[in-house]
A = this chain, B = another copy of it.
Amino acid sequence: MTTRIVELRQGILKKNDELARGLRGRYTAAGVLVLNLVSSPGTGKTAFLERTLRELLARGFRAAALVGDLETDNDARRLAASGAPVRQINTHGICHLDAEMIDRHLAGWEGVELGGLDYLFIENVGNLVCPSSYDLGEKIRVALLSVTEGEDKPLKYPTLFNSADAAVITKIDIAEPCGFDRELALRNINEIRPGIRIFETSAKTGVGMGEWLAYLAEERSLRG
């Protein structure tokens, strides 16, 4: 049975990669920078993304978000408070987003065209494992890690951190009561993905958000 599972899994991933390639082409043609945010549940993806959307809109950028969740539209409602267009992708128990879901939700998104956006953020299902295998056509995969989670997460979930283009440490404002060992966390991230850009942020206080927004602007301009 193992052989059949592996073959089927490879088939699924191959089909996903093909769809993702198509999406990537469409993103490039539309001139929109697409980011895929992956983390454990509770890392603070939604709070971080809400602040990011809010700050981008305040600077005159056009940004939108697709939000994956197993159930509920809590996150979509929170994000919509930023003023950006937000669309929920309810996976009904599936533990990751895939390219087909993105394709389908882009298609029927009233009032939103890829060509009318500067940035599209995809907030993945809270899961450090399964989303790592599914390319969504994004330019930048962002691995988020909070100061509450333990500094060894990059070592324990190497597939995600190894495939990430940027790492965001969240909840820096509570680093001290959590006993967060900053040096160790940075060392572990660098061990798995040497030289990766790392941002130390707090969506609550705004620390580190300036550097993050500068990075977004830079990456967008690099797209030419």
Contacts and interface: CB of A to CB of B under 8 A. Distances in A.
Contacts of A190: none
Contacts of A12: 1, 5
A8 B11 contact: no
B128 A126 contact: yes
A72 B177 contact: no
Interface stretch (A28-36, A145-153, A212-220): A145-153
Contacts of A11: 1
- The quantity of this chain's copies bound in the complex is 2
Main secondary structure of the interface of A (DSSP, over half): loop
**Interface footprint category on A:** 35 or more
Contacts of A157: 41, 70-71, 126
Of listed A8, A129, A158, residue having the most chain B CB within 10 A: A129
Nearest to A149: B42
Nearest to A192: B71
A156 B69 CA distance: 7
Contacts of A13: none
Contact of A159 (B40, B69, B93, B125): B93
A136 to B, nearest CB: 18
